Amino acid sequence: MIPSDRSHFYAAAVTHPGMSGKNNEDCYAVSAHHLSETDSTPSILAIVADGVGGHLAGEVAAEIAVETISQTVAGSDASNPREILENAVIRAGQAVYDQSDSGTDRQGMGATCACVWVISDKLYTASVGDSRIYLLSNGQIRQLTTDHTWVQEAIEHGIIKPEQARDHPRAHIIRRYLGSQKPVIPDLRLRLHPEETDKQTTANQGTQLRTGDQLLLCSDGLTDLVDDDEILAALQTEDLEESLDHLVDMANARGGHDNITIVTLQVPPTKVEPTSTEQAGSKSRFELYRWAYLGISIVIIVMLTVLVWYASRPATPPTHTPIVTTAATVDPTDYLKPTLTKLP
């Protein structure tokens, strides 16, 4: 793909170390491309990674994850987005593991990740761990990803209730992450409705976004302390960048025990193209105007011919000399040309 200086989506991001005093081990990236020199289809990739490990190791793991995924996607031809994104996450997991195995100070480091890739208006996602992706559409917020945590598995098996998850002592036990000894399995489920099966959620890859839709990627430093409804309210009532700052302040005011990173992508308003019915109507009006112009032209020609013949015939006394008045010529196209009013 070819790097682009401008994105076809509105994008905003913020990251904050939180209030615990630890280093910011989160990392994020947003990059824009078009597909090739001959294909100007726009593309945007957003990634949030949350590092885990010893001193500075989590920070390194998150950076490796973001760089590897970004480079893999950017170097692709975008012919199979789902497969490309899946392979990019697998390569990132292997890259983190290789680095963690190379030195004792980085041993055991890892990272979660949440990835969004939009080609034109088609959405593709991949995730590992408990960093999340949300879709805000029609005044509702939906979590598209599924957390890979102990409490999530406990909820799915009916061991605990969803309202018990946040304060559960095992809330931060991650069951899947980049850098594990076993090759990571990227989660390609894109859950648009709670009742969907795993097969249906995977088939949702490539779903079409609509004008005004908004995507939000975040680390668990936000979702541990701020509810989904609060995220929705902030993004609906404030400027895009101001809303992110407000969410960070809200999490910090409630303890800010972890790093907080948020990235948002919003589908901008687009020009409305005429529908096939409108195009057919315009064509019919054009045909009507053309025939009207032809008819008026014929009438004018006949009238001028009669007037010329009448003026040039021999004069016979005792009649008066006829006075011929020629009307100013008006170009019928000045008012018969069809106009197209563009819709906003």
User: 198 with 189: CB under 8 angstroms?
Assistant: yes
- The answer to the question of residue 271 being in a domain is no
Cβ(70)–Cβ(91) under 8 Å?
A: no
Going through 121-213 in order, the beta strands assigned E by DSSP cover: 122-128, 132-137, 140-143, 207-208
290 and 313 housed in the same domain: yes
Residue given tokens 């999490």 in the structure block: 251
64: tokens are 């490796």
What's the confidence (pLDDT) of residue 319?
Answer: 45
Going residue by residue through the chain (344 aa), what tens digit of pLDDT does each one get? 999 999 999 999 999 999 998 899 999 999 999 999 999 999 999 999 999 876 678 999 999 999 999 999 999 999 999 999 999 999 999 999 999 877 667 888 999 999 999 999 999 999 999 999 999 999 999 999 999 998 888 888 888 887 777 777 787 789 999 999 999 999 999 999 989 999 999 999 999 999 999 999 999 999 999 999 999 999 988 788 899 999 999 999 999 999 999 999 999 986 434 344 444 444 455 555 566 666 677 777 767 776 665 666 555 544 443 433 333 334 444 433 333 333 33
Q: Is residue 33 part of a domain?
A: yes
E-state strands within 129-259: 132-137, 140-143, 207-208, 214-218
Domain end residue (candidates: 238, 266, 294): 266
- The answer on 202 and 298 residing in a single domain is no
- Are 11 and 69 within one domain? yes
Q: In this predicted structure, what is the pLDDT of residue 309?
A: 58
* pLDDT attached to residue 204: 97
Question: What is the domain-level CATH number for residue 159?
Answer: 3.60.40.10
If asked whether residues 96 and 134 sit together in one domain, one would say yes
Q: Can you give the residue range of the structural domain that contains 299?
A: 276-336
pTM of the full structure? 0.77
Q: Quick check: is 295 in a domain?
A: yes
Phi and psi, residue 247, nearest 5°: -65, -40
83 and 199 co-located in one domain:
yes
On whether both 131 and 180 belong to a single domain, the answer is yes
In this structure, the answer to whether residues 235 and 142 fall within a common structural domain is yes
Are residue 224 and residue 248 in the same domain, yes or no?
yes
Number of domains in the chain: 2
Q: Is residue 139 part of a domain?
A: yes
Are 202 and 306 found together in one domain? no
Q: Which of 266, 286, 311 marks a domain boundary?
A: 266
